[in-house]
Structure 1
């Protein structure tokens, strides 16, 4: 069970982050906390526990791409060849058909 002694408001969390040189708005922190479900809300009041702050920080890590797995392209060598051939064909002038 958690204690209210460790609870802080989003405003206090933002002030702590800004004290460390990390610029974030209270609104952004509140939105992110709600999005992750990493907050406690009673009525209109929102507060954060240390476990919530850890969840927000963990979710904020950038996703690392695997260097060994090449990205799959939907464009194939055959598609490239077909496009090349189409671009090399001489253009035909379109003639408007006149009604009979």
Structure 2
């Protein structure tokens, strides 16, 4: 049988964080835990195991700004040349 002695409720996590000066609502914690998938839910009850808390802390770490965006620019030199060609053709028609 599973050992639930280390299970902790969202309210307990929030209380422990507030003791350490980190102010977070239980609702925000629950939403983030669901989004990350780092919680256990049975019916309407949610609880955390120690590994879930570690996952939440890791997921809360900010990522460098350049890490999520693509390295390719949206507008290339080729696009500029094509646009200039179209503009030149439009001037010749007048």
| TM-score above 0.5, yes or no | yes
**What's the TM-score once normalised by structure 1's chain length?**
0.65
CA shift, 1:75, in A, is 3.5
- 1:72/1:36 CA distance change after superposition, 3 Å: same
Distance 1:3 1:21 in 2: 30
Secondary structure of 2:57's counterpart equals helix
RMSD: 2.8
- 1:2/1:23 CA distance change after superposition, 3 Å: farther
Distance 2:58 2:2 in 1: 20
CA shift, 1:76, in A, is 4.6
Q: How many residues align?
A: 87
Shift >2 Å, 4+ stretches:
71-81
Q: Which residue of 1 aligns with 2:92?
A: none
Q: Unaligned 5+ residue runs, structure 2?
A: 88-94
Distance 2:22 2:9 in 1: 17
CA shift, 1:24, in A, is 1.0
Q: Deviations over 1:1-49 (max 9, x none)?
A: 8521111100000011111111111001101111122111122111111
Structure with greater helix share of residues: 2
Q: Unaligned 5+ residue runs, structure 1?
A: 87-100
Q: Which residue of 1 aligns with 2:32?
A: 32
